[in-house]
Amino acid sequence: MDVKLNLDQVNIELGNNGIFLKIYEPSGGAHVGDLRIGRANIVWMQGRTTEKNGKKIPIKRFIELLNSY
């Protein structure tokens, strides 16, 4: 599955490593964790967890979860 981001009419295709997002509490608060979005999986790494110990979910399953709300 290809994953693309649309940022103000700029399309970015994910490479083999995907993209990493650092997640913080609102208003410049504490670091909550990291999220890696890849071509096939999303990995949530809470706190200082490494990707090896993160929670991995296939993109297709993630989309199913979002559609169920």
Mean of per-residue pLDDT scores for the chain:
86
- pLDDT of 2-34, one tens digit each? 556 667 777 777 777 888 888 888 877 888 999
Q: Is 59 left (phi over 0), alpha (psi -120 to 50) or beta?
A: alpha
Tokens of 51: 């990707």
Please name the helix (run of DSSP H) or strand (run of DSSP E) that holds residue 59, with its range, or none. Answer: helix 59-67
- pLDDT of 37-68, one tens digit each? 998 999 999 999 999 999 999 999 999 999 99
> Phi, psi at residue 15, to the nearest 5°?
-85, -165
* Domain span holding position 45: 4-67
CA of residue 31 relative to chain centroid, distance = 15
**Number of structural domains, the chain?**
1
Quick one: which of 54, 32, 37 has its CA closest to 45?
Answer: 54
Whole-model pTM over 0.85: no
